[in-house]
Amino acid sequence: MNGDPLTHGLWEKTAPAAPPTAKLEGDVDCDVAIVGAGYTGLSAALSVAEGGAAAVVLEGAEIGFGGSGRNVGLVNAGMWVMPDELPATLGDLHGRRLLTLLGDAPRVVFELVEKHKIACEAERAGTLHCAVGARGFAELKERERQWRARGAPVRLLDRAEAAAKIGASAYAGALLDQRAGTIQPLAYARGLAGAAIAAGARLYSSSPVVGCEADGDRWTVRTPNGAARAKWVIVATNAYTVSPWGALRAEITHLPYFNFATVPLDDAARRAILPERQGCWDTPQVLSSFRFDQAGRLVFGSVGALRGTGPAIHRAWARRALAKLFPQLAGVAFEAEWYGMIGMTADHLPRFHRLARNVISFSGYNGRGIAPGTVFGQRLAELALGAIGEADLPLPISAPKTAPLRHAAEAFYEVGAQLAHFVGARI
């Protein structure tokens, strides 16, 4: 995408073509102007259009250019943090609302895929959160307790059960979440865009927003070659935010994440590894993830950026780690490699912001963008359409707060991941 194979890698190679879009030229009127063509913005556009209002999406690059086109493709329920942390941090009302919304969010994703016939390699086999050592297993046992107390269909697997589902004996156990699954993430974004356009939304690519000014009871959202005039503005740019809403970017710390995709594996390897096709990630802070795509490529990723000295270090680590986990893959070739940025907040929870009158935003997905982005987009659309009020949202209103020592933290994540993988690749 944009001529750089390291941004979207395998997903760009295998996704269906994006629906045709053009640059915004001149001025347009609409009810809701949406900035950003990722999951949140596209889901909002689809909901606005299906609600009978006029939606315009302004995308600075291409559909799915940000995290929506670069992530692993795990459609997970909830957030990265333990379920009990949501009401503890947000208060009982919003905490319960958010848990309910996000617990059900994977179902919403898969129903949209089915309804709009989105070709995105959807697999509803669940996900496996894999325990590294006794500490990791204890963490998953507590996570299971908290989810099961809320009626969630999760089950803790012992070492033997986990090994049977993963095809490797390296883990002390795993938490199976039957609500979850996997998709081809860029294909899902492009499919949402096609559905939104079919419903009547207008989508403009290569149209970065350079300004947003109040114009009576409406807003003028300007691009280099045109403008959209709207009553409501939804800012759906998350980790890839640029001006004029720099406060959103300042609140988020970038955590880099890379993926390598093998060539398609032979039949024996496909039967032995993840035979039920769950997507996986593990418990360490510098975590790893792995899942199959539809053609039998194993997508293997971890924290780190593929730039500077990163590619050589992370590639060497990935080869060693894969061979240790699945010895039959020693020497397997990688077909694609890419990376992107996860938007992290201080408490690892998302934010709802009213940036100005009728200018609203959700951001800070903390590595859980697919399902939350989809349902948050729907809620933003409902708010703009007047179907709900701010008091009905799953998050309280908050003002953007600059993350302390953000630049230092981002440098630490990138360099620290290289150090961890440099050592890990040579043990």
Confidence of residue 33 (pLDDT cuts 50, 70, 90): very high
Per-residue CA distances from 386 to 190, 207, 334, 380, 389 (Å): 27, 28, 49, 10, 7
User: Above 70 in pLDDT, residue 282?
Assistant: yes
- Convert the pLDDT of each residue in 62-91 to its tens digit: 999 999 999 999 999 999 899 999 999 999
Query: Is 167 among the domain residues?
Result: no
Query: Is 393 among the domain residues?
Result: yes
pTM of the predicted protein model: 0.97
Confidence of residue 319 (pLDDT cuts 50, 70, 90): very high
Average pLDDT over the chain reads 96
Confidence of residue 427 (pLDDT cuts 50, 70, 90): very low
Query: Is 320 among the domain residues?
Result: yes
Query: Is 77 among the domain residues?
Result: yes
- Convert the pLDDT of each residue in 337-367 to its tens digit: 999 999 999 999 999 999 999 999 999 999 9
> In terms of residue numbers, what domain contains 288?
5-126+179-424
User: Could you tell me if 162 and 128 are in contact, meaning their C-beta atoms sit under 8 angstroms apart?
Assistant: yes
- pLDDT value of residue 48: 98
Task: Count structural domains, the chain.
Answer: 1
Query: Is 240 among the domain residues?
Result: yes
Domain of residue 308, CATH code: 3.50.50.60
Reported as half-sphere exposure (CB side, CA atoms, 13 A), residue 105 has a value of 29
β-strand 359-363 against 232-235: which pairing, if any? parallel
Confidence of residue 426 (pLDDT cuts 50, 70, 90): low
Give the type of residue at 224.
P
User: Above 70 in pLDDT, residue 374?
Assistant: yes
- Convert the pLDDT of each residue in 228-261 to its tens digit: 999 999 999 999 998 799 999 999 999 999 999 9
Query: Is 159 among the domain residues?
Result: no
- Convert the pLDDT of each residue in 127-176 to its tens digit: 999 999 999 999 999 999 999 999 999 999 999 999 999 999 999 999 99
Mean pLDDT over 280-285 rounds to: 96
Q: What percent of the chain has pLDDT over 90?
A: 97
Query: Is 155 among the domain residues?
Result: no
User: Could you tell me if 186 and 193 are in contact, meaning their C-beta atoms sit under 8 angstroms apart?
Assistant: no
- pLDDT value of residue 3: 76
- pLDDT value of residue 192: 98
Query: Is 317 among the domain residues?
Result: yes
Percent helix, percent strand, percent coil in the chain, to nearest 5: 40, 25, 35
